[in-house]
Structure 1
């Protein structure tokens, strides 16, 4: 342990780094900028938490004395947390102790996942975390207990961009029992709703190009947007978005509940699930959720393709389909939709984890176990794009099958027959019609979703990760 002089010198050096205007005080803006400059702003609203805990005289800033008292208190708390993790009392935390910590809170991770967490904190390459590494990593990250640390370590995959079928998030027993899980799902649902609404014109344009685009009827993005506005005005750009937003809540809830039950069945007597087992559980949960809400997918496509005044609303559209085509119409395109889950979810998850882990290994000496917002957004954008490229032909065939009855003279074909027909008539590239607007919506969708998600968590009082 350091002596008092060394500790004070270390605190003074840190204070001087934060005190950018050298007035002997650190305000919230200096805290925010300083934490970002040091790469330590990994906890949402960390500067507010630090100021709230350290500002004893309530003047809105930290003096050196207040700052040192705060750090001394933090070190005592961190030492207690470190010792609780160090189960064999050897002064170091290894992967098995990280894994056990998760298991004690009802969250199951593999040794490989625990190893990745350890690598993000292991600065000296010993494959263990000593007290100094632990202290320096969390000193300016205002987490209060081990459950906060575990929650911070976990990766959240709640963000929704309208196409994602990746593995759902996992919650600890306390999060489930306290109802925290539904707040997370609500935050994700609202984020998804805002994100989908913001990118709805691109989504409708994609559907139009998938159904009406062909060699004989060339439909570019500009022509498509112009045609939509000319036919129904600017409001027509959002046709079909209402039901697209409505289906978020049941889909998310069903996926979460199914995922939890499937994990129990797969896990059996095992304590943990391997990555491939989590992928299987996530894919099955996605398939179950899609099966339940699939009629809403058909309605979304029909509403997006409708002409002005054709239907008065969702219920009118549903009655029309039922009356003219029967119940089976609500399952058109179900098979390619189901088959598309595996390549999309598998590739999306694999590419995301590969990119994120590559970043962590290269920059593991950084101060955050979490790569940060921009890195995660980049990983999510690239992985989602790769997943879409792999599964897009199935998505296109699904949409064509859903819309067959609305296109005059269109053949009523099965999935394989429609595949062959599209390739014969339009070539292999015909399977990728409409993918340009689909790509264009990924970055704004992820960005909007992230911003809204974080703000919703703050409003709902959800601990940030």
Structure 2
């Protein structure tokens, strides 16, 4: 990403230190001044940085803008822009020197390990090399001042502690999770929090799932009644729409608990004493809006998921009854389990990328110093760093969890309908 800044925004001579700094700043300013009026507002800054491949997130971009807008007129002129970058470069120079322990003008992996250890963070040399790879533009596995400056040009970190905090969460932890499989995931969870960590967040999940499922099935029956044709028939399209609306209704009703479940699951051992403590800390630190973090991708995902899931389930069940049930309208437990498994699989495949983005949006807010990306920026970053396969990362354990749960819920749903005399 920042190699793009070096090659696309900064001219080669500037990257090598042969041009005056003001020329570098002028080139950058022209890239951001989209309407060429000599001023850059917050919208131009955000759009320009995304065009350069640097989606910092709204919070970081606003922090940069606020720091640079010294006269508080809501715009950055070239003098303000240049002054901000000069001051920021001074801070980054101090950070660079604090890492360059042997004063040779280059940062090496061993120096990163040493610096983080001083601050109480222990990482391996391999993890330090991962950090350097994200900054190293020429492939030398060391970082000189020019590479360091270009990489942190638009990172709002003000000192080495903030930079290391950013590394700790976005690079070191990211590299671990990117290569994690189911077995290593279990191993890491057991090591970090013992057996109890495997059920972290399950309490709120149980509290959430009962009303969510009840509302979904109740709403589905109500929407089906509304959309039933005059001849009493209900087609696949009507079932899909009913399922989509039912899923959206249920998710909107319980969404704050979805956020709590994710925060508890990704939190460290001892970070929260329970569901209410988690809710209290989120409310105090981030405000009420935090309880709907990731709501838009969640709704965009639940519409195809719930629609496909419920529609395919009823289509498969009715098809089986039509062709194989001669004496009974009861398909049996195993048929219902099979229909639920297939329908849930279809729904998951269609909606998983949005569910992944929702979960990452919920989780990133709990990471101190990490950029808070919106749905579009997060999607772009996943595709850029992990490829299209990254949008389906974690789908295997998700299938292992969801398929039996959803299938069983359909069996219970059908049995309860029979017992309650609901057609």
Using structure 1 for the length normalisation, give the TM-score. Answer: 0.48
* Structure with higher RCO (Cα < 8 A, 6+ apart): 1
Q: Is the 8 A contact 1:213 1:219 kept in 2?
A: no
Q: 2:334 aligns with which of 374, 378, 383?
A: 374
Q: 1:238 to 1:456 in 2, by over 3 A?
A: farther
Residue 296 of structure 1, CA deviation: 0.8
Contact kept, 8 Å, 2:298 with 2:358, in 1: the verdict is yes
**Do structure 1's residue 244 and structure 2's residue 205 form an aligned pair?**
yes
CA distance in 1, matches of 2:190, 2:248: 35
The alignment covers a number of residue pairs equal to: 251
Q: Is contact 1:215–1:426 with CA below 8 Å preserved after alignment?
A: no
1:441 is aligned to 2:389: no
In 1: Cα distance, 2:380 partner to 2:197 partner: 32
Match of 1:384 in 2: 344
Gaps of 5+ in 2: 1-172
Q: Which residue of 2 aligns with 1:319?
A: 280
Aligned mate of 1:283, from 238, 244, 250: 244
Once the two structures are TM-superposed, the CA of residue 341 in structure 1 deviates from its matched residue by 1.7
Q: How does 1:390-409 map to 2 (within 5 A)?
A: 390-409=350-369
Matched residue of 1:224: which SS? helix
Matches within 5 A, 1:407-422: 407-422=367-382
Aligned positions of 1:213-292 closer than 5 A = 217-255=178-216, 258-259=219-220, 262=223, 266=227, 274-292=235-253
The 10-residue stretch of structure 1 (314-323 or 355-364) with the greater mean CA deviation from structure 2: 355-364
**Root-mean-square deviation (CA), in Å?**
3.3
- Whole-Å Cα distance in 2 between the matches of residues 257 and 285 of structure 1? 8
Alignment match, 1:331: 292
Match of 1:351 in 2: 312
Structure 2 distance, partners of 1:348, 1:259, is: 12
Partner-residue secondary structure (3-state), 1:367 = coil
Whether the aligned pair in 1 keeps the contact of 2:242 and 2:307 (CA below 8 Å) is no
Map of 1:53-132 to 2, 5 A cutoff? Answer: none
Q: Shift in Å at residue 434 of structure 1?
A: 0.8
Q: 1:349, CA displacement in angstroms?
A: 3.2
Query: Residues 287 and 217 (structure 1 numbering): CA distance in 2 closer, same or farther, change over 3 Å?
Result: closer
Counterpart residue number, 2:391: 431
Deviation of 1:423 (Å) = 0.3
Q: What is the SS of the residue equivalent to 2:365?
A: helix
Instruction: Identify the residue that residue 96 of structure 2 maps to in structure 1.
Output: none
* TM-score, normalization by structure 2: 0.52
Change (3 A) 1:235 1:313: same
Match of 1:301 among 238, 262, 266: 262
Rate the CA distance shift 1:421–1:322 in 2: closer, same or farther, 3 A: same
> How far 1:233 moved relative to its partner?
1.1
Distance 2:408 2:381 in 1: 38
Unmatched runs of 5 consecutive residues or more in structure 1: 1-211
